[in-house]
Structure 1
Amino acid sequence: AANGATPLHVACQQGHVECARLLLEAGAAIDQADEQGATPLFAACQDGHLEVAKLLSSYGASRAATPFGTPEEVATEEGHADLAVWLVASRGWTPLAHLETLTAARATSLLRSGASLHEGEPTPLRRAAGGEGEAAALVRRAAAPWSPASHSLFPAAARARAALLVLSIYEIHERYHLDSAGATNGIAALDFGHCVLGFAITRETQ
């Protein structure tokens, strides 16, 4: 655009939330300002586009001051009360805490990349407690002890550790599955392994 606005900036200014989502998914620079210094989030807040602001915030958009003030200030000044209230309420949220905005795919991606369940105010886990929707359900599942059902929601390092430990357990099982007594020992080892894996694998595994 003539004023240096990016496609994301234009989409946000005009309130086109799905266009903005596609641009963000494609890696658009979320905080790139136009020539006057207005960011996409500022533009969305200036014109009262609540859902666009929520989307940008869920991707970690900066709320720092522009030459025209902060997004929160401009929403208040322009009389967008619902947006201003939401901006205040969500000040301490991490991207994963935006449960009403996140798609299941985006929530899964954040969880698999290691997003914390316990950072922010309130934390994603606290927001997910009793919450509706797929994103909230995924956060609750990711908070449970490791199991085959939650494996896909753990970060890469934890998934690798789980795969190694599961393989080791099955190798022990096969090694001792020789006769009736060995079979009993092997099954016991397998059952024991499945019980302890939930405690041995954590999301914070390095």
Structure 2
Amino acid sequence: MNDGTTPLYIACYKGHLEIARLLLEASADINQARSDGCTPLFVACLKGHLEVAKLLSSYGASRAATPFGTPEEAANSRGHADLAAWLVASRGWTPLAHLETLTAARALSLLRSGASLHEGEPTPLQRAAGGEGEAAALIRRAAAPWSPASHLLFPAAARARAALLVRSIYEIHERYHLDSAGATNGIAALDFGHCVLGFAITRETQ
């Protein structure tokens, strides 16, 4: 459209949650405003579409002021009290902290891409501590020390380092534990190695 209206903007204006979700999953520009400066989040708040606003926030939508004011001001101006209260409560959240909105697949994607468990107010881990659902459970698992069972929840750099170190442990086992007695010792060495890796591999591994 000539005024810069995007499919995502229309979905947010109409309150079409699942269409907005599909567009965001397809990498739609979440902050692309119309020519007048109105953003998808602003119009969702203006129209009182709480779940759409939550979804946009979980993808990191900007809450900065538009020429018409902030999203919070838009919600308040139209009397959308529940939405306005949620916007205030979630001001310090990172995308990973949006437990009620995140699917397990998106939570996993954020964890694997390096989303911090400890940033924001409250942090994702603080919110997940008493939370229900798959996203909260994944965050709690990701906060535990590295293990083969939690390997897939770590960022790419940490997974690569873990794979390198595990291969090194297996190579040492193959080289130095070839007889039956050594095989037993080798299994013990592998178990010990996995325990050590729990301390050597962190989510912030460079």
Q: Is the 8 A contact 1:13 1:47 kept in 2?
A: yes
Percent sequence identity is 85
Count of residue pairs brought into register by the alignment? 206
**Alpha-carbon RMSD:** 1.1
| Matching residue of 2:31 | 31
Q: Does 1:155 align with 2:155?
A: yes
| Matching residue of 1:43 | 43
Which deviates more, 94-103 or 174-183? 174-183
| Matching residue of 1:187 | 187
Q: Deviations over 1:49-102 (max 9, x none)?
A: 000000000000000001110000110110000000000000000000001101
| Matching residue of 1:68 | 68
| Matching residue of 1:141 | 141
Q: What amino acid sits opposite 1:16 in the alignment? A: H
Q: Deviations over 1:148-173 (max 9, x none)?
A: 11100100000001111111111111
Q: What amino acid sits opposite 2:196 in the alignment? A: V
Q: Deviations over 1:123-171 (max 9, x none)?
A: 0000000200111011011001111111001000000011111111111
Normalised to the residue count of structure 1, the TM-score between the two structures is: 0.97
| Matching residue of 1:116 | 116
| Matching residue of 1:196 | 196
| Matching residue of 1:98 | 98
C-alpha displacement at 1:3, in angstroms? Answer: 3.0
Q: Is the 8 A contact 1:176 1:185 kept in 2?
A: no
Q: Is the 8 A contact 1:113 1:155 kept in 2?
A: yes
Q: What amino acid sits opposite 1:202 in the alignment? A: T
C-alpha displacement at 1:2, in angstroms? Answer: 4.7
Q: What amino acid sits opposite 1:5 in the alignment? A: T
Q: What amino acid sits opposite 2:54 in the alignment? A: K
Which deviates more, 146-155 or 1-10? 1-10
Runs of 4+ in structure 1 off by over 6 angstroms are none
Q: Does 1:170 align with 2:186?
A: no
C-alpha displacement at 1:4, in angstroms? Answer: 2.1
Counterpart CA distance in 1 for 2:101 and 2:157 is 27
Q: What amino acid sits opposite 2:27 in the alignment? A: G
C-alpha displacement at 1:36, in angstroms? Answer: 1.5
Counterpart CA distance in 2 for 1:83 and 1:41 is 12
Counterpart CA distance in 1 for 2:96 and 2:4 is 31
Counterpart CA distance in 2 for 1:64 and 1:30 is 13
Q: Does 1:132 align with 2:99?
A: no
| Matching residue of 1:56 | 56
Point out where structure 2 has 5 or more consecutive residues left out of the alignment.
none
Which deviates more, 42-51 or 145-154? 145-154
C-alpha displacement at 1:183, in angstroms? Answer: 2.9
Q: What amino acid sits opposite 2:161 in the alignment? A: R
Q: SS of the counterpart of 1:63?
A: coil
Counterpart CA distance in 2 for 1:68 and 1:184 is 71
